[in-house]
Structure 1
Amino acid sequence: MKLKQRIVVGFSIPILIGLSSCDGGSSPTTSDPAPSPSESANVVPTQAAVEAIDRPSTSSDEIPNFMNEVLGDNDDRAVNVSSIRQIEEADGITYYIGKTNDAEGFCVYASTANDFIGGCGYASVEVVSVSPAVESELPQLMLVTDSYSGYSLQESGWKAVSKNILIR
C-alpha cells in the first residue's frame, strides 16, 4: 500500500521591539534605556491558547498507525505525538491538534483511512495553514487559536469544523 503524506512546518516568528519610556520631554538621561540585544532575546512572548488540546488523552486520540510511523519515529519531529488530540470527525476525515516538542507551538492534522496532511507553527492567531497535494482528497486546513474569531476567513471560503480548525 502506497501512503501519501505531506507534512508542512510553518513558522511565524514574533518580532520583539524594545521601546524606551519617555517622561514627557525631560532630559534623555531620565529615560529608561532600550534593552540590549541579550535582554531582548530573553523576552518570551505570551503563548497562544488552544484549550481543546489541554484535556486528558482518551482512546479516540490515538492516531492511525501509518501516521504514527511517520510522526513518531522521527528524532527531529516537530510534534509531541503524545500531545495529539482528536478534535473532530466529519465526512470520513479525522482532525487532530497537537503541541510541538518545545510546547511553544501547535500542529494540525487531517487524516483519512490511508492519507494525511499536517503541519506545525508558532504564532498568536493563525498558527498554521496546510495545503494537500493535488491528487489528495483532503481539504486545505488552518489551525487558529481560541482568541481568533475566524469570521474573516469564513468570508474567504473557509468553513469551521471546530473552534480551532477551518477547512476549504
Structure 2
Amino acid sequence: MRHNGTDGSTRLHRLDRWLYRGGRPNRLARAINRAWATVFATGVLWPDRMVTLRVPGRRTGRVISFPLVVADYQGERYLVAMLGQGTNWVHNVRAAEGRAVLRHGRSEAVRLDEVDPGARAPILRRYLACSQGGRTHIPVGPQAPLEDFEQIAVQYPVFRITPDRSASPPGSG
C-alpha cells in the first residue's frame, strides 16, 4: 500500500480522490483550483515552486489559470500533469504550441516543451518529492525505484519550462 500515514492522511487521500474522480476535477475542485491559482499567482505566501499557469483555452481562446507545482531537476524546471494525459491544461498547452505564462508574484512568459516519456522517470520522482498533492494521483511512492516510474511515465505528461523571449505571449495580463 502506497499510503502508510495516519488516519488523517487516509481521509485526505479519499477526499482528493473524490475531488478528482475519473481524473477530472469536480465542481468543488474547480472552485478550489481557482482560489489556489489566485493565491499562487500573488507569490506572497508560498515558495517559488507554487505557480499559476496561464494559457489560452483551446476552444474559447479565453485565458485559463491552473495552480501547479514546479519540480526542479538537474538545474531545469518542469511541470507535471498529475491527472495524466486527459488534463485540460495539457490539451491547452499543446494547442498553444507550448506558449504560456507562469505567475508567482510576477509574470514570466515561458515555452513548455514536452519531455519524451523515456526521460520522465526521474522528473516524476522529483515531482512527488515536491508536490504532496501529486502523491494521491500518481500510483508510485516518492521513494520507489526509477523502474517503477519508467513503467508509468507515458501516462503523465511532463513539460520542461524555458523562458520565452519572443513576442508577448498569450495570457500575460
TM above 0.5? no
Structure ranking higher on relative contact order (CA contacts 8 Å, 6+ apart): 2
Which structure has more helix as a fraction of its residues?
2
Structure number with greater Rg is 1
TM-score (structure 2 length as normaliser): 0.28
TM-score (structure 1 length as normaliser): 0.29
